[in-house]
Amino acid sequence: MSAPNPLSDAQLAANFADIAPPLTHDAALLEANQCLFCHDAPCTIACPTHIDVPAFIKKIATGNLRGSARVILEANPFGHSCARACPVEVLCEGACVLNDRDEQPIKIALLQRHATDYVLERKLRLFQPGPSTGKRIAVVGAGPAGLACARDLRRFGHAVTVFDAKPQPGGLNTYGIAEYKLKTDVALAEVQDILDLGVELKSGVTIDSLEPLLAKYDAVFVGVGLGSTKRLGIPGEDLPGVIDALTFIEHLKTHPYRDTAVGRNVVVIGAGNTAIDAVTQAKRLGAAAATIVYRRGEADMSAYHYEYELAKRDGCGFRFNAAPLRILGNGAVDGLEVRTATGTERIPCDMVIVAIGQGSPALTWPKDHPKVFVGGDCANGGAEIVNAAADGVQAAARIHEMLTVRDGR
Amino acid sequence: MADLRTSFAGIESPNPFWLASGPPTNTYGQVAKAFDQGWGGAVWKTIGEPIINVFSRYGSVDLGQNRMMGFNNIELISDRPIAENLKEIAEVKRNYPKHACVASLMVESKQKAWHEMVKQTEDTGADGIELNFGCPHGMSERGMGSAVGQVPDYTCQIVEWVKEVATIPVIVKLTPNVTDITYIARAAVKGGADALSLINTINSIVGVDLTTFEPQPSVAGKSSHGGYCGPAVKPIALHLVSAVAGDPSVKIPISGIGGIASWRDAAEFIALGAGTLQVCTAVMHYGFRIVEDLIDGLSNWMDERGHRSLADFQGRALPRVAKWEDLDLNYHLLAHIDQDKCIKCELCWTACEDGAHQAIRRLPRDNGGPVVEIIEEACVGCNLCAAVCPVQDCITMRQVPNAYPAVSWKEYAAGKGKLAPRSEHFHTATWTKSR
């Protein structure tokens, strides 16, 4: 468990390289020119932020990359990270009409990355804060929901202060997305773009109650995400070598790769998308074996099909219908006892990663307070970056409407 | 197996595919290689007093990722000595006696100069002479090329001079840069031309560099209009070939030129009256090897259709080229959408709604059924929806039979015949500006 990582730096870097490398200029043009430019396009409908996908793709085809990025980021302040981490197979690309022509869909995510990389690399400022309204809004949580809300509130001209418990802003974008999908520097650059609109950020501040904020601000947006990973509630859970998935991934994303401890024989308990992120990254860190153990069957997995396929391609194992009973070990993990259809069985392992979902957030908020708005994981129970961004954008519009309509402006 | 042999104004060739006069026919090496790969003939790059070219010469118009959808050039005629060109033509004829080798000529507009040039050319054993009255750039500033081909009297005069000494067939190559090409064609016939070839290139500027504002192709910061060709010009060439072929006072063979890149293009030119085909841009793009499918595709199509020789279908489309006033007003069409094939892109709707006749209705996407349907009482059968539909055979145009006899505008305006009841364009477009 504590042995030095067997992989070279070069091998580790290759293992965590972008799973979907960027398109070359020529490949992007070729792809953009395949788009049919649908009217009332299903891809746009499928996107929670309703990015005008045909419009941004057409602009790539004409060489108007700045305009293309603006179409994307106007609708979705997290267009950079969504281009890398969105489950497009079940959203825009899954809705592409070319699927019905028995063809591959347009590579919307890669085209979106092509356009947004253009402005990110050149540090082009696409948006400006609106003229000051004198209104002040507190945003709790600097994840995609909170910062999407903050971005649009600044564009409306409101003053925004964002509170976040972590040292770095970005929420799960910074700390929780699989490294091979989204790198921390991209996540932070995207966040910086928003902060540069004049958002005040108070990092390392845990908000325990909304009361002081409600007294001081004209509105409060709550985008705190969910709580920490749920506990299994079985013996052995506190043994060294047992870690929850979010802590494991956060460590990986905030340290040089080899500084994150990984077992030789890793078991991941759970079968959601976070469990997949954990098992694939354990494998990519150098685990000789990394296996998902799930109490129910293959068809019951909540992970997306393409994530399941990715884990299989990475050489990860799957044990279905195996309910964890106890984590075994004397001072350190050396196995997991599970109940199967035929009885109990011991699965040998030297590391257990728990990924059975997150609990509720510690913060509570009044449900029907006119000045309180909520969005992201803490409102929807845990979804994608794009859902959080959509929530934040919609909340900003509602807050703006409330503040301006109420004042009769 | 279809017989592709041609006899064009007395010039024999194993197939109708000739290289047009241009960069691919500059040397013995190119023409000999082309013949070995299957080309039936070649019109040598225009010979005259050697010129000096500029370095930047060609410009491309790309469509999406498709290169050279249109193409232009500001290259002049051959920059090689006349004697060298003639020597190589003679060598080609010695080594390829069954292939057509035609010399393209352009000299200053003096009787003696033309007589001299024609006699020298005949000494090579060339099968014919093509008079380049078409190049629109450069040479025209010196009173040659299209400067001759744009004036019927000049055209007639020089053809007469050439015919005074020529004993081999004389082909006159026509420029499209005129108001009515048939006037020039008739002038060539009057001067004694044995055949015509068309079209030469179209005056053009292919683009402007938006950083430097240099028109393309740029020569040290400036450009000159050049000759446009390639697939983009085919429809223009087809029209002009049909106009000349359909002119009752032009009864000489026509060699079709302009954007020919496939056997389908070739068959269309022949159907509109062409006897041979000349190809340049497609060879400049992909090389001589394209002739294999030109021959193979045309042969297979002819076999399938039962055409044993080119004569079997040459000109077959010509009687169908009519004046608008003779078209049948009682021929009605209706667009039909195959909903099983529809992929729900709604391109037909947006095209019809914004760009045509508001004859398609949108249905809600969320009900799982069709998203577009034809408003039959409003559809005027214009073809636009079928043209924009990205799915093969999803939208088809179907005839709506009626009991009324055909009636043309000419007849109808003269009080003869009756119009069948027809769907009408209701002009239903409405728009309320959104907040």
> Which ipTM was obtained for this model?
0.84
* Bridge partners, B130 (sequence order): B104, B171
Shared domain check, B182 and B150: yes
Same domain, yes or no: B140 and B194:
yes
Residue A335 sits in a domain whose CATH number is 3.50.50.60
Give the global pTM. 0.90
Tokens of A383: 């979804």
Residues pairing with B397 in the sheet = B335
Residues B33 and B179 placed together within one structural domain of the fold: yes
Distance (Å) of CA B157 to CA A145, A206, B195: 82, 97, 16
Collect all residues of chain A within an 8 Å Cβ-Cβ radius of residue B350.
Answer: 39
Give the closest-approach CA distance of B37 to chain A in angstroms: 32
Q: How far apart are CA B185 and CA B234, in angstroms?
A: 19
For residue A56, CA distances in Å to A79, A86, B30, B296 come to: 12, 17, 46, 43
Catalytic one of B135, B156, B229, B389: B135
Indicate the DSSP class of residue B40: -
Range of lowest pLDDT (A111-125, B108-122, B421-435):
B421-435
- Total domain count, chain A: 3
Q: Both B301 and B351 in a single domain?
A: no
Residue numbers of the domain that contains A384: 136-227+360-406
Distance from the B19 Cα atom to the nearest Cα atom in chain A, whole angstroms: 32
End-to-end CA separation in angstroms for chain B = 68
For chains A and B, CB pairs below 8 A equal 36
Contact list in A for residue B344 (CB cut-off 8 A) is 38, 42, 97, 100
Please check whether residues B409 and B304 belong to one and the same domain: no
Measured between CA atoms, the residue of chain B closest to residue A29 is: B65
For residue A165, tell me if it sits in a domain.
Answer: yes
Q: Which residues of A touch B349 (CB under 8 A)?
A: 39
* DSSP H/E element including A351: strand A351-354
Residue A3 domain-assigned (yes or no): no
Does one domain contain both B357 and B263? no
B227 & B355 share domain? no
Establish whether B382 is a catalytic residue.
Answer: no
pLDDT digits (tens, 9 = 90+) for A238-259: 999 999 999 999 999 999 999 9
pLDDT at A406: 55
Same domain, A114 and A185: no
Contact A39 B345 (CB under 8 A): yes
In sequence order, what DSSP letters do the residues of B353-411 get, joined into one string? Answer: HHHS---EEE--GGGSS-SEEE-TTT----SHHHHH--STTTEEEEEE--SPPP-BHHH
Q: What Rg value do the Cα atoms of chain A yield, rounded?
A: 22
Q: Residue A11 pLDDT more than 80?
A: yes
Give yes or no for a contact between B167 and B122, defined as CB atoms under 8 angstroms apart.
yes
CB contact under 8 A, B350 and A100: no
Range of the domain at B406: 325-413
Q: Same domain for A217 and A364? A: yes
- Coil, helix or strand at residue A180: coil
- Indicate the Cα dihedral angle B372, B377, B379, B381, nearest 10°: 130
pLDDT tens for each residue of A144-153:
999 999 999 9
Band of pLDDT at residue A116, cut at 50, 70 and 90: very high
Domain for residue B268, yes or no? yes
Q: Identify the pLDDT of residue A2.
A: 57
For residue A124, the distance in angstroms to the closest alpha carbon of chain B comes to: 20
Asked if A261 and A350 sit in the same domain, the reply is yes
- Number of Cβ atoms within 10 Å of the Cβ of A279: 31
In a domain, B137, yes or no: yes
Q: Distance between CA A27 and CA A106 in Å, rounded?
A: 12
For residue B365, which residues of chain A lie inside 8 Å, CB to CB?
A: 40, 42, 45
pLDDT tens per residue, range A298-314:
999 999 999 999 999 99
